[in-house]
Amino acid sequence: MGKVAVNIDGVISEVSADGKSFKIGGLWVTVTDQTKLGIDGPTAAKPSEELLQKEFKVGNAVSGYTSQDVGAGKVTADVIYNNIAPQH
């Protein structure tokens, strides 16, 4: 199994009004048309709606990667691997 770089990881505490940005801890993450969704590669499974929700919502667990400095407090995501709704 291949490893992926992850530096965006946690539970969403806030979502912007347009739904394109969310906050994890002290980090605001913006998703753009350039952001890849899911995990790709020859052995990657197709993303299911269960693991990759279409909308970012407070309480969802998100993991992803940005090439930008997460210490800056605001980044644009290069990839969002998972956006998982909380299990009830």
At 51 the pLDDT is 85
Q: Tell me the residue range of the domain where 53 lies.
A: 8-84
At 39 the pLDDT is 79
**31 Cβ neighbours under 8 A, 6+ residues apart:** 20, 21, 22, 56, 76, 77, 80
Closest CA to 83 of 56, 43, 47: 56
Domains identified in the chain, total number: 1
Which SS3 state, helix, strand or coil, does residue 65 take? strand
Query: What does pTM read for this prediction?
Result: 0.87
Per-residue pLDDT of the chain (88 residues; tens, 9 = 90+): 467 789 999 999 999 999 999 999 999 999 999 999 987 777 776 667 778 888 999 999 999 999 999 999 999 999 999 999 998 7
d(CA 24, CA 17): 16
Domain at 72, CATH number: 2.40.50
At 2 the pLDDT is 60
Asked if the structure places residue 3 within a domain, the reply is: no
Asked if the structure places residue 38 within a domain, the reply is: yes
Give the pairing of strands 74-76 and 21-24: unpaired
